[in-house]
Copies of this chain bind each other. A is one copy, B any other.
Amino acid sequence: MTTIPLGPGSEFDAIRRLLDRWGDLARGVGDDAAVLSVPRGDALVASVDSAIEGQHFRAEWLSPTEIGYRAVAAALSDLAAMAAVPRGVLIALGVPAAWRDRLDEIADGIGEAVNGSGTRVLGGNLSAAGELSITTTVLGSVFVPLMRRGAKPGDRVYVTGQLGGAAAALAEFSAGRSGGAHRHRLAHPIPRIAEARWLADAGATAAIDISDGLAADARHLATASGIALSLESTKLPLVAGVDANLGVLSGEEYELLVTAPHALDVGEFEARFRLPLTEIGKAVAGGAGDVTIVGMPHIQIAGYDHFVG
């Protein structure tokens, strides 16, 4: 570990414990700010995402390690949506007294997500708080970012993976059960970093990650691109036991919705990533932002809204 010496004090002791836990995953931590070189010619891509107890997760549903993993994996998914390569993360933790002795487990989950995307912890902030919060800043780089706004009329629409697992698991938890068959989809989403690079190299024109649900995120992409999307409910790749309605509303999937002007080599994608890639519809001109799902005329496209209620 190339961290520099920290001063004394119990806050610094807690930071040291985190750094020990992360080992080589944490590098250069300890100055006022992290220093990082961006490959020449690349643009820097940066995003921040918060996971707050009671809003984004419930402590009785997930383990501390899963809570840490999921917070950071969700943030890294925003880099995947831009087809960026992760260059490091900053972790701001708000830790209530009752959570202090679970900090090692939270750190393990954070480390797992960081390691899984081949990146590292560059710095962070540790503070006492009234509720547990994990705010992750992800830094990545890419020569040509894949944006939401690049879709053109006529483009084909694809989605990675299978949909509905996160919502199915949430429904199980909400009914007082332990998450059911798809618990892992909620607890352990995988940012599609390498998949996104493949898709960009294959000519994808626009992308978004599915954090608000396919229907809502399709609308974000369509709005940004100034096009409409026509999707087909029968083509949706759904996990076992989930209907299309739940599948298109299921948030926190962290799969990618992409558009491409030509057919993508689905076989090569699936062989390489052992993950489905499914063509589910088309971009069409006019009605900017409209999303039609053939076979589901009455779908309400709202996504998850933190400010409702």
Contact = CB atoms under 8 A, between A and B. Distances in A.
Contacts of A128: 52, 55, 306-307
Interface in A104-147: 122-131, 133, 135, 137-140, 145, 147
Interface in A18-65: 30-38, 40, 43-50, 52-56
Contact of A44 (B47, B138, B139, B148): B139
A141 to B, nearest CB: 9
Tell me if A's interface is mostly helix, strand, loop or mixed.
mixed
Question: Among A13, A33, A126, which residue has the most Cβ atoms of chain B within 10 A?
Answer: A33
User: How many copies of the shown chain assemble into the complex?
Assistant: 2
A223 B9 contact: no
A47 B90 contact: yes
A47 B34 CA distance: 6
A200 to B, nearest CB: 13
A32 B78 CA distance: 5
A20 to B, nearest CB: 16
A34 B82 CA distance: 9
A209 interface: yes
A38 B35 contact: no
Given A81-B32, A127-B52, A133-B133, A7 B47 contact: no
A276 interface: no
A135 B84 contact: no
Given A31-B147, A50-B135, 5 more contacts: A6-B220, A9-B307, A31-B81, A33-B47, A127-B306
